[in-house]
């Protein structure tokens, strides 16, 4: 019920001792109370830096047990989309986290309906700061994310038959 005096609100999550994710959410885009959580994802993905992680969004004040799927950081409105800035995710990493990867091609991927896709909001650019080991990504949707220098592939579970006597 109170107006916020902040432009962005933030949360930070450590993926490991040298890799960290910080999310900055534009408070003016939120139409109602919204809780955001960052946590490890229960996925096996090869060829990524660190591990897969989830950004969960819970809207309203009553149903905070079920996150909203594909939560959009931009409200549905008649106003131009440029009136609502995207959320921003900053990933910091150690040199060991990206060993064997091309740092100039590091990209944040989100898990969409048809697999892994680039997470960056359309019409926005990723900012890379290789000397500081930082990647700054404008986001439009919450999802499951991975950091890699190439589009990852999902690991398929293989179920073997059980033979017993």
pLDDT of residue 15: 94
Residues 113-145, buried b or exposed e (16+ Cβ, 10 A)?
eeebeebbbeeeebebeeeebebbbbbbbbbbb
Q: What is the pTM of this model?
A: 0.84
pLDDT of residue 126: 95
Each residue of 51-89: pLDDT tens digit? 999 999 998 776 677 888 888 887 666 666 667 889 999
Q: Which has more pLDDT, 128 or 63?
A: 128
> CA of 4: how far to CAs of 7, 8, 33, 159, in Å?
8, 10, 11, 51
DSSP-assigned states of every residue in 51-110: EEEEEEEEESSS-TTSPPTT-BSS---SS-GGGSPPEEEEEE--GGGGTTS-GGG-EEEE
User: Are 110 and 64 spatial neighbours (Cβ–Cβ below 8 Å)?
Assistant: no
Neighbour count for residue 151 (Cβ, 10 Å): 13
pLDDT of residue 38: 96
Dihedral (CA of 65, 68, 74, 77) sign: negative
């Amino acid at each position: 019920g109170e107006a916020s005096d902040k432009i962005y609100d933030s949360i930070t999550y450590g993926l490991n001792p040298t890799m960290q994710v910080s999310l900055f959410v534009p408070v003016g885009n939120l139409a109602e109370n919204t809780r955001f959580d960052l946590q490890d994802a229960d996925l096996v993905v090869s060829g990524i830096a660190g591990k897969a992680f989830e950004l969960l969004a819970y809207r309203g004040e009553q149903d905070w047990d079920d996150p909203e799927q594909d939560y959009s950081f931009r409200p549905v409105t008649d106003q131009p989309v440029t009136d609502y800035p995207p959320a921003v995710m900053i990933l910091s990493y150690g040199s060991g986290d990206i060993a064997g990867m091309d740092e100039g091609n590091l990209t944040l991927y989100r898990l969409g309906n048809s697999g892994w896709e680039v997470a960056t909001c359309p019409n926005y650019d990723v900012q890379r700061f290789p000397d500081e080991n930082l990647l700054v990504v404008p986001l439009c949707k919450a999802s499951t994310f991975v950091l890699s220098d190439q589009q990852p592939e999902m690991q398929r579970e293989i179920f073997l038959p059980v033979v017993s006597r």
